[in-house]
């Protein structure tokens, strides 16, 4: 961390305090607090050079894929490929001689795919390829990717760490001093660092992170079990249920299942809209990880920018809904879900 604060864009005491907190959360040596989750991502991407290749998980946050596909690839002549990382042999085949960065989410946004961080890190060992894990959904309460072999951990601090839907911020955590120096140069040059006041807001939210995550998980588990058995739900996806194909992997690398739920309603867009319109406690809104419960329709909201053919491959269909469970009373939230489903 800088010792002398000569210009706030390069660092300030409050941001430094937050960065120490973030490093502690992820058991890292260093951390950066950025002006948004995407600012954190862009900071990392600026380590790349023309002609490099980025290997990205196929199901990734809409903003991340939009940046890769619409800005980085055409403007910087950087190759992008997106693959499912489930089969390690196939994963290794997707690595190219010019691959410099591997981007992973687990669980993914929005279909909640789960991947083995340790195996992926081992597959990349000795290649010089940086493994970046977006840990926003899992949170540092449950998963610490650096301990599993990742080089950089990213977070949208807007979500669980901030926790109150009142700040936009991002974070990067890492252990390498050489990598820290390179990223610091990018951050101070581009101005992607977080302001002092917003840093204070995230510090405030971080103090209750563990309590909020565990309460949200408790309700999410109850909600997932309820939804999984409901006659109007075609399919329920939640890492905490044994029905999830990545259940054992997630259990091996995470202390908890998280509070994100994905479900497919029987029917199509009409049924999804009816469900969403009749929720009273769950708010129809993008974002996630706050104290309040949110529901959204990825195909027309957070992932609308994903090409239709790619959404179809990933299963982001018209009947697909993503829930972010908050910390309201469990019984109230279950009643809200039951009422909304009765209107479908």
pLDDT digits (tens, 9 = 90+) for 39-88: 999 999 999 999 999 999 999 998 999 999 999 999 999 999 999 999 99
Helix (H) or strand (E) run with residue 284 in it: strand 283-284
In 3D space, the residue among 188, 184, 179, 175 whose CA is nearest the CA of residue 100 turns out to be 179
SS3 166: coil
Q: What amino acid positions are annotated as catalytic residues? A: 9, 61, 134, 159
Give exposure, 9-39, as e/b (b: 16+ Cβ within 10 Å): ebbbebbbbbbebbbebbebebbbbbbbbbb
The pLDDT of residue 270 is 96
State both tokens at 117: 């961080």
State both tokens at 323: 């829930």
Distance CA 285, CA 234 (A): 23
The pLDDT of residue 106 is 96
Spell out, as residue ranges, where the chain has pLDDT lower than 50.
Answer: 2
φ, ψ at 276 (rounded to 5°):
-65, -40
The pLDDT of residue 169 is 98
Distance CA 89, CA 68 (A): 25
SS3 81: strand
The pLDDT of residue 68 is 96
Q: Which residues, at least 6 apart from 174, have a Cβ–Cβ distance to it below 8 Å?
A: 28, 29, 30, 31, 146, 151, 152, 153, 180, 183
The pLDDT of residue 3 is 62
How many other CB atoms are there within 10 angstroms of residue 44's CB atom? 23
């Amino acid at each position: 961390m800088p010792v002398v604060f000569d210009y706030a864009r390069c660092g300030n005491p409050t941001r430094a305090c937050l960065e120490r907190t973030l490093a502690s959360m992820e058991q890292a040596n260093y951390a950066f607090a950025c002006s948004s989750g995407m600012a954190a991502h862009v900071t990392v991407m600026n380590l790349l050079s023309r002609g490099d290749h980025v290997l990205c998980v196929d199901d990734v946050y809409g903003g991340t894929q939009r940046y890769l596909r619409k800005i980085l690839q055409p403007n910087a002549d950087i190759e992008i490929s997106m693959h499912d990382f489930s089969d390690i042999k196939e994963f290794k085949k997707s690595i190219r001689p010019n691959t410099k960065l591997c981007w992973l989410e687990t669980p993914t946004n929005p279909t909640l795919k789960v991947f083995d961080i340790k195996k992926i890190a081992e597959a990349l060992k000795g290649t010089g390829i940086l493994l970046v894990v977006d840990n926003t959904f899992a949170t540092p309460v449950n998963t610490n990717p650096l301990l599993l072999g990742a080089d950089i951990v990213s977070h949208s601090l807007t979500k669980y760490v901030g926790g109150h839907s009142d700040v936009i911020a991002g974070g990067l955590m890492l252990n390498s001093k050489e990598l820290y120096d390179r990223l610091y140069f990018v951050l101070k040059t581009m101005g992607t660092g977080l302001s002092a006041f917003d840093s204070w807001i995230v510090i405030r939210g971080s103090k209750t992170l563990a309590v909020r995550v565990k309460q949200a998980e408790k309700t999410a588990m109850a909600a997932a079990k309820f939804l999984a058995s409901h006659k109007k739900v075609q399919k329920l996806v939640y890492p905490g249920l044994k029905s999830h194909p990545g259940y054992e992997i997630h259990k091996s690398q995470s202390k908890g299942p998280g509070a994100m739920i994905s479900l497919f309603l029987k029917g199509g867009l009409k049924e999804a809209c009816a469900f969403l319109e009749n929720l009273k406690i769950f708010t129809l809104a993008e974002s996630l990880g706050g104290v309040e419960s949110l529901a959204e329709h990825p195909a027309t909201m957070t992932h609308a920018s994903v090409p239709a053919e790619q959404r179809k491959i990933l299963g982001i269909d018209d009947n697909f809904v993503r829930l972010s469970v908050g910390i309201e009373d469990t019984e109230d939230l279950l009643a809200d879900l039951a009422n909304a489903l009765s209107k479908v």
